[in-house]
Amino acid sequence: MRAIRFDRFGERPVLQEVPDPRPSTRGVVLRVEASGLCRSDVHGWLGHDDGIALPHVPGHEVVGVIDEVGPEVERFRVGQRVTTPFVCACGRCAECASGNGQVCRNQTQPGFTHWGSFAERVALHDADVNLIEVPTGLDAGAAALLGCRFATAYRGLIHQAELARDESLVVVGCGGVGLSAVMIGVAVGARVIAVDVDPVALERALSLGASGVVNSAGRPDDEVVDEIRRLARGGRAGAGHGADGADVSVEALGRESTVRTAIRSLGARGRHVQIGLFADDPRVPLGEVIARELQLFGSHGMPAPAYAGLLELVLTGALKPELLISRRIGLAEVPDALVAMASGAPAAGVTMIDVSR
CATH number at 230 reads: 3.40.50.720
Residues 219 and 307 in one domain: no
Quote the Cα angle for 23-27-28, to 5°. Answer: 60
User: Which of 257, 276, 298 is a domain's end point?
Assistant: 298
Residues 141 and 161 in one domain: no
**pLDDT under 70 in the chain at which residues?**
235-243, 346-348
Residues 200 and 321 in one domain: no
Is the separation of the CB atoms in 122 and 107 below 8 Å? Answer: no
159 class by beta-carbon count within 10 Å (0-12 exposed, 13-18 middle, 19+ buried): middle
Separation between Cα atoms, residue 275 and residue 34, nearest integer Å: 23
Residues 67 and 179 in one domain: no
- Do you know the residue count of the chain? 357
User: Which of 298, 319, 337 is a domain's end point?
Assistant: 298
pTM, two decimals, is 0.91
Distances (CA, A) of 41 to 59, 61, 115, 199, 238: 6, 10, 12, 25, 42
Residues 157 and 294 in one domain: yes
Is the separation of the CB atoms in 65 and 80 below 8 Å? Answer: yes
Is the separation of the CB atoms in 203 and 182 below 8 Å? Answer: no
Residues 193 and 326 in one domain: no
- What's the pLDDT score for residue 48? 87
Residues 133 and 42 in one domain: yes
Separation between Cα atoms, residue 180 and residue 185, nearest integer Å: 9
Which residues, 6 or more positions from 297, have their beta carbon under 8 angstroms from its beta carbon?
156, 160, 161, 271, 272, 273, 274
Task: Give the count of domains, the chain.
Answer: 2
User: Which of 278, 298, 318 is a domain's end point?
Assistant: 298
Range of the domain at 44: 2-148+302-354
56-99, pLDDT tens digit by residue? Answer: 999 999 999 999 999 999 999 999 999 999 999 999 999 999 99
Residues 163 and 115 in one domain: no
Residues 172 and 294 in one domain: yes
- Is the bond into 135 cis (omega within 30 degrees of 0)? no
CATH number at residue 121: 3.90.180.10
- What's the pLDDT score for residue 346? 65
- What's the pLDDT score for residue 241? 42
